[in-house]
Chain A
Amino acid sequence: MNLTRRLFVRGAAAVVALMALPRVLLAWPAKAFEAKSTSDAMDALYGGTEATESSAVVLGAPDIAENGAVVPISVSCSLDKVESISIIVDKNPSPLAASFDLGPGAVADVSTRLKMGKTSNVIAVVKADGQLYSAQKEVKVTIGGCGG
């Protein structure tokens, strides 16, 4: 597929999405959030799926979620010139959960809470100085009980 066609397809999908919802935010990356796979979400958000695993990206997530509806996730990064941080839940129906664009002065250190339907890898993607870096961790979602 050549570049022109890919851009066209991406643009077309965005138009469909815009018509489907009374969207007020033109900057919101609809295609990335509506993507059904991690690679599609990465491609839509960054125009590429390659991210280098890096120990400079620190992903905080529980080994087992206490409640799949409220899973605390934190991402920090010690690299310079961090532009954005994204959090992807690989097995969620729409994997991209959140993306943070850092403005002047913002430190690469964010925390939030996400919904997870089932056990999945959680992936943190950091864009720093134009390059993509990542870290991932499996978070187990269980029905619980029977311990003790």
Chain B
Amino acid sequence: MDRRDFLRLLGVGAIAGNAAGWGPGRNAYAAGVEGMYDVPRLGNARLLHFADCHAQLMPVYFREPNVNIGVGDRTGKMPHVVGEAFLRATGIPPGTPEAHAFTYLSFEAEARQLGKVGGFAHLATLVKKLRAEGPGGKALLLDSGDTWQGSGTALWTRGRDMVGACNLLGVDIMTGHWEFTYEEDEIRANIDAFGGEFVAQNVMLTEDAAFFDVPSFDEDGHAFRPYTVKHVGGHKVVVIGQAFPYTPIANPSRFIPNWTFGIRAEELQTLVDEIQKDIDPEAVILLSHNGMDVDLKLAAVTSGIDFILGGHTHDGIPVPSVVKNAAGGRTVVTNAGSNGKFLGVLDLNLGLGRVRDYRYTLLPVFSNLLPADDEMTAYIEGARAPYREKLEESLAIAETVLYRRGNFSGTFDQLICDGLRAVGDAQIALSPGFRWGTSLLPGDPITMDRLLDQTCITYPETYVREMTGEEIRLILEDVADNLFNPDPFYQQGGDMVRVGGMNYVCDPLEVIGKRISNMTLDSGEAIEAGKTYKVTGWATVGSQAPGAPVWEVVAEYLRSEKTVRIDKLNTPVLKNVDNNPGIADYPS
């Protein structure tokens, strides 16, 4: 479908009347789809921002969550609103392309009409256009990370295909998370090959590494450059990096034994104070992979940071949150979605030593609205060519919308759990609640490409082993606390561990140890604390599991199944979420 078809299908009528605007910059889109990418310029500096593309070089479908529950004082606040509540909170009119981009509503029908999102060739066209229209024909392009992982080609090239793509896209500055799931030498080599700067104020050498003279960026022990100074139109902008603080907990520490992470809020404040004193920039930006809730708290407990441009929790935030910071000033926080689906545009009016004005717009990247960039297309074809046959193998046909994103199991998670249980002959399957993984529409072939979107990590090995009911409960409790701890600094940002073959009751508002109850097998039989069960799973963090990579196991299952229809999800029965706008269309 070309651009003209797209516009005809969409129909002018469908997008009329959305001139009310929904936050800074939105009035610009009153013209509708025709004017979607016409962002009027403000001020004298332009920053472009994306996050969590997860190595998706090609256009994809990506369904936003219908469960994204906020607890404590985050209850019902952005980003913990879904569907129609999200539209009400942001003022996005229902039925518009933006409503489709930001919510799960009518996902299949809208996706069929509007087509795929993202793809680096389309993103490149948008970046070039917005750069050319920026002050002096320039813009800084920032990437919050999770760029080198998420596709088969990224895994097999150890992230290098994405480094090449980002160089072509012109990424100026990045930070990381899944980047750290390769080996230290590979990470350093990728950073050397990266044309921009890799920044992280919160990655330090461990004490042991410092003793044994492992290379660091500076004498303070920063493993990487903590920040960089950019001159934009005669103005100084400082960009500080904040890598994912809990990388060695959420992912294997054995790949990166010399590095230690953490939020390091105090160190960040000291650094910002030094920067304000010594460099006196007009704007200080934190390029973050904290996740939205951690970013919001960090903004409130620090001062001197003008903007936090974040990622990790994959929240597309069209209207930034303005946080009153520790010094009574203002810190603006936003996250830019995932999978190459969005590009943020932050226009700044800098002068008199400060940010005088700003405008933020988060643009959905509709592949059909943006012609593919020739150079990037050629690069991507080259990157995929050696693996094309393997990637394009059709394993089965989807008969249901397949997706992952959401606090609890998506249909693709159920497929993985079903496959693991069938092949491993296990009673129960556990599958990690990653937030990445693309979506498929009914009728789509489930290719190895799409299966790898959901599974390709550097620790993919599966296991089948005995676990007691108590061990299973402890795992569920531990992960639930990473998701639902009311203090964002104790959250790790993944979603709940997915289960197959069992059911349970979950109360997100309870404390650790009391959230999970009534665990039963699919048969209805109670899971007993002292009894052992045959459990299968993948992505073990502590040590390497003995089994085949998960994609091999699930591929074997898919080849034998031929079609995939998911009628029932092993999602928990939830307590105390009745009036929570972070959940909708949940099976009760």
Contact = CB atoms under 8 A, between A and B. Distances in A.
Interface of A: 62-67, 72, 113, 119, 140, 142-148
A142 B250 CA distance: 10
B494 A146 contact: yes
B248 A146 contact: no
Contacts of B260: 66, 72
Interface string B530-548: 0000000001111000000
Nearest to B459: A145
A37 B203 CA distance: 35
Contacts of A148: 146, 177-178, 250-251, 432, 434-436, 493-494
Contact of B490 (A63, A145, A146, A147): A63
Nearest to A142: B478
Nearest to B479: A146
Nearest to A58: B266
B478 A63 contact: no
A146 B481 CA distance: 12
Contact of B541 (A113, A119, A140, A144): A144
A58 B481 CA distance: 27
Given A63-B490, A64-B492, A145 B541 contact: yes
Contacts of B481: 140, 142
Interface in B255-291: 260-263
Given A64-B490, A146-B495, 11 more contacts: A143-B474, A144-B249, A144-B250, A145-B539, A145-B540, A146-B432, A146-B482, A146-B539, A147-B249, A147-B492, A148-B494
A56 to B, nearest CB: 16
Interface string B489-511: 11011111100000000000000
A73 to B, nearest CB: 12
Contacts, number: 81
A102 to B, nearest CB: 21
A143 B473 CA distance: 13
Contacts of A140: 481, 485, 490
Among the interface residues A67, A142, A147, which one has the most CB atoms of the partner chain B within 10 A? A147
Nearest to A144: B249
A146 B497 contact: yes
B434 A66 contact: no
A113 B475 CA distance: 26
Q: Counting chain A CB atoms within 10 Å of each CB, which of B261, B436, B489, B490 scores highest?
A: B490
B253 A145 contact: no
A64 B249 contact: yes
A67 B248 contact: yes
Contacts of A145: 250, 432, 479, 497, 539-541
25 contacts: A62-B262, A63-B490, A64-B246, A64-B249, A64-B490, A66-B249, A67-B248, A67-B253, A72-B207, A140-B481, A140-B490, A142-B482, A142-B492, A143-B474, A143-B541, A144-B542, A145-B541, A146-B497, A147-B246, A147-B251, A148-B146, A148-B251, A148-B432, A148-B435, A148-B436
B433 interface: yes
Nearest to B434: A148
A64 B262 CA distance: 8
Name the residue in A65, A146, A148 with the highest tally of chain B Cβ atoms < 10 Å from its Cβ: A148
Nearest to A113: B207
A113 B206 CA distance: 11
Contacts of A144: 249-250, 492, 541-542
A62 B266 CA distance: 11
- From B497, B540, B541, name the one whose CB has the most chain A CB atoms within 10 angstroms: B541
The 7 residue pairs across chains A and B that have the minimum distance between CB atoms: A147-B250, A147-B494, A145-B541, A146-B432, A144-B249, A66-B248, A147-B492
Contacts of B249: 64-66, 142, 144, 147
